[in-house]
Structure 1
Amino acid sequence: MFTLKLFTALGCGLVAGVFFAFSTFVMSALARLQPRDGVVAMQAINITAINPLFMVALFGTGAACLGWVIASLFKWHQLGSVYLLVGSLLYLIGTVVVTIAFNVPLNNALAAVKPDSPEAANHWNRYLTNWTLWNHVRTITALAAATLLTIALKLR
């Protein structure tokens, strides 16, 4: 169980790091580009982000967190269960659900934008603001989950 908790905490931290990079410099760099170029670059990023390694990190960690939610409810009396439960719920809701409910639909809408169209610049500016806001949420919740799961490791 220690090893699975460790890998779950590391998965949360890894995902937090990816999202942190986007929140702190990738989106700012893309915002400096001409809207057409920003749209093209982000469309390419969104396509390449759908790869087995990132999907396992994001959703495999989510599956592990779901298992920890269930386990912590059955072992509520054990030391560290509350950290395990709250950390796992933070990751599931603030990272996985936010990704599915907000970032993916924004990515899908951006995929439909023709970079040379007159509407591209307006769409790009709205995308930058909204996507980055939700990415901040994902970054914070994944990092908080990693922290709480690490505390749960210590309290085992």
Structure 2
Amino acid sequence: MIPRALLLLTVGSTLGCGLIAGAFFAFSSFVMPALAKLPPAQGIAAMQSINVVVLNRSFLGVFVGTAGACLILAVVSLFSWSEAGSRLRVAGSALYITGTFLVTMARNVPLNDALARVSPAAAEAAETWSRYVPAWTAWNTVRTLAALASAALFTLALVQSARAD
């Protein structure tokens, strides 16, 4: 039987991963393609604004909070390795932390920081934007798939735990 705290942590991680996957999916599927259709100066200005506004309590709370929950979930699951769902919880946690959180820090944030230093009206802005959009979108798609797969693994862990009861 899965302890109540572990159940709640798994459900919370599942929901957090799903929310993040949805937000990132929106960017890869229609936000970035829409921004790419704008003149480069407008696309850059819009993305620079988004990159400032995204640093808010609600988004960061879910994004960072889910990473923290996954870390706790992985550690607890390693200590209860033989229990139903433990392997799936560790896999889901590792995937979110590496494929979503660390990819963000190592790939998307540096791209955003570089874009923040570009003046939308500068001569090199169009060239920077033409490199930024496909690179940022590709890494964002990696984050999307990792968060979605994590949510699926956590869901399977919940099912496996429920069947073991």
Q: TM-score, normalised by structure 1?
A: 0.99
Q: 2:39 aligns with which of 34, 38, 54?
A: 34
What runs of 5+ residues in structure 1 fail to find an aligned partner? none
Deviation at 1:106, TM superposition (A): 0.4
Residue in 2 that maps onto 1:12: 17
How many residues matched? 156
**DSSP 3-state at the match of 1:155:** helix
Distance, in Å, in 2 between the alignment partners of 1:72 and 1:127 is: 39
Deviation at 1:3, TM superposition (A): 1.7
Deviation at 1:153, TM superposition (A): 1.1
Residue in 1 that maps onto 2:63: 58
What runs of 5+ residues in structure 2 fail to find an aligned partner? 1-5
Question: Identity, % of aligned pairs?
Answer: 51
Question: Deviations 1:63-90 (Å, cap 9, x if unpaired)?
Answer: 0000111111111000111110100100
Distance, in Å, in 2 between the alignment partners of 1:90 and 1:5 is: 14
Matched, 1:133 2:135: no
Residue in 1 that maps onto 2:118: 113
- CA-based RMSD: 0.6
4+ runs deviating over 3 angstroms? none
Distance, in Å, in 2 between the alignment partners of 1:82 and 1:122 is: 45
Kindly provide the amino acid, as one letter, of the partner of residue 62 in structure 1.
A
Deviation at 1:48, TM superposition (A): 0.2
Distance, in Å, in 2 between the alignment partners of 1:62 and 1:128 is: 26
Matched, 1:48 2:53: yes
Question: Deviations 1:65-124 (Å, cap 9, x if unpaired)?
Answer: 001111111110001111101001000000000000000000000000000000100100
Distance, in Å, in 1 between the alignment partners of 2:64 and 2:100 is: 10
Distance, in Å, in 1 between the alignment partners of 2:8 and 2:21 is: 20
